[in-house]
Amino acid sequence: MSDKQSSNAYWRANIRTIWICIAIWAFVSYGCAILFRPLLSGISVGGTDLGFWFAQQGSIITFVILIFAYAWRMNKLDREHGVEE
């Protein structure tokens, strides 16, 4: 595989990873906290409904988890494509 093909494959994988992270983050922060809140209101977490929990804490926790997952995935991609530090 040429350098250009390898570089394109690396960036396609990188962009795909970013879009997956953005989709998960948007679903949790916008979907669960706003759109699906009435559906989640019957489920209790820590004395409050699940929709409120996602709006206040769940989306932040999910975002932090996504940061670590992205770093792990990018380290793996870097090793696969020979561009690790």
Give residue-wise pLDDT tens across range 69-85: 999 999 999 999 888 77
- For residues 29 and 62, the answer to whether their CB atoms sit within 8 Å is yes
Terminal alpha carbon distance of the chain: 21
Which one has a higher pLDDT value, 2 or 7?
7
Q: Does residue 35 surpass a pLDDT of 80? A: yes
- For residues 46 and 53, the answer to whether their CB atoms sit within 8 Å is yes
Cβ-based burial of 47 (10 A; exposed 0-12, middle 13-18, buried ≥19)? exposed
pTM (predicted TM-score): 0.79
